[in-house]
Each structure stands twice: as structure tokens, then as C-alpha cells.
Amino acid sequence: MATDALSLGHVRFIPAGQPYHRGNSVASAEHRVAMTALAIVDNPHFVLDTREVERDGPSYTVDTLTELRAELGFAQPIVVLLGTDAFSRITGWHRYQELFSLAHIAILTRAGMAPDWLNAVDAELRKELKARITTEERLLQETSAGGIISIPMTPLEISSTEIRNRLRAGKSVRYLLPAPVLDYIESHDLYTA
């Protein structure tokens, strides 16, 4: 778990309000917040942060980090946890260059995916990113932003897209997500064809 690997005090789960790079979400913000709350309720290191669903307009990570910096100050380290697939598309993010002055980035490598995230970006960005890479978790605690670290995660072949596809096809997703979340999805008839 990333909290242990990086000695994080807590992890904020921030459901996206209106992701600018996606169309309308299949589930409403209200449902996504409720499912997130159900999924993390038993872990005292997990915190639900609803700022993006409460914000008007598109959700941009840079805006969320700017708000967090205003609240926490610049001495407090912030680490953004991203999967390799999300990180490989980071150059398409709104004002992505500013992310590195606001937070560290931990890239969580998924099962079956080579930790080849650096080769997924263009040569100019690759040079800049190489200077930010660290293998020392303590450096993420001693500085407030700018570092990149890769964290291998326990293999689990699962994705939100696959779960939604299985639900639409009428296939079981039991054991692929917390039981209370599955109960919520079923009781609200979410993600069905």
C-alpha cells in the first residue's frame, strides 16, 4: 500500500467533479462521492475530500493542488498518487508543468505493466523528469514538491473501466470492489446497459 511504502500520514480520495478530458461521467458526482465514502470507511488513513465535486466548472488537478497548498502551506509535502496509464498522459493535463512545483508524484505501477512510464513521454519532458526521479522515499518527506518516485503495487488485474464493462454485461464483480460499494451500485442501478 502506498501509505506504508511512502510513510504517508493519510491519503485523500478526491472524486473528480467534471473531468475536462472525459465526457459526462456515467455516475453522478453524488453517487461517486457516496461510493468513495463506502470504499474507504474502514481505513483511518483514508480521507474523503469533496472539493472537486463542489467546485463549479471543469476539475483540474493543478487547481486542487493550488487550493491544498493555500491550506497546508509550502512546507508540507504533498504526494499525488498516479497509475502509469494516467502519468503517461500527463502532458495533456491542464497546466501540467505546474504540478511539479506543487507536489511530488508517486507512480503506482500496475500488474502486467512494465514500469516504462518514462518512455511514454517526449524526449524534452523525459530529460526534465529524469532529474526529478528518486528512489529515496525519505526525500519526499524532506521536501515539499518536485520529486517523482515509482512504487510497485501488489498485482491486481482490475480497473474501473473493466468493472463498469462487467456490470453492463451482467457479469459478477463480487470481490473486485468492497461489498458495500457493490451493494450501493446494485441498489441505485448504476452502470447497467
CATH at 25 = 3.40.50.620
Q: For residue 24, what pLDDT is reported? A: 57
Would the pTM count as exceeding 0.85?
Answer: no
Please count the structural domains in the chain.
1
Q: How many CB atoms lie within 10 A of CB 50?
A: 16
26 inside domain: yes
d(CA 26, CA 20): 14
190 inside domain: no
For the segment 104-108, the average pLDDT, to the nearest whole number, is 91
162 inside domain: no
Residue 47: DSSP 8-state:
E
158 pLDDT band (50/70/90 cuts)? confident
d(CA 22, CA 58): 10
- Say if residue 101's pLDDT is above 60: yes
78 inside domain: yes
Domain of residue 105, residue span: 2-157
Phi (first) and psi of residue 152, to 5 degrees: -70, 135
d(CA 2, CA 106): 9
Give helix 179-187 / helix 29-40 axis angle, nearest 10°: 150
Q: For residue 77, what pLDDT is reported? A: 94
179 inside domain: no
Q: For residue 191, what pLDDT is reported? A: 85
- Say if residue 153's pLDDT is above 70: yes
Q: For residue 76, what pLDDT is reported? A: 93
For the segment 64-88, the average pLDDT, to the nearest whole number, is 91
166 inside domain: no
Q: 59 has which bridge partners? A: 19
72 inside domain: yes
d(CA 53, CA 16): 6
Output the average pLDDT for the chain: 85
Residue 174: DSSP 8-state:
T
109 inside domain: yes
- Closest by CA to 80, choosing from 100, 46, 110, 104, is 104
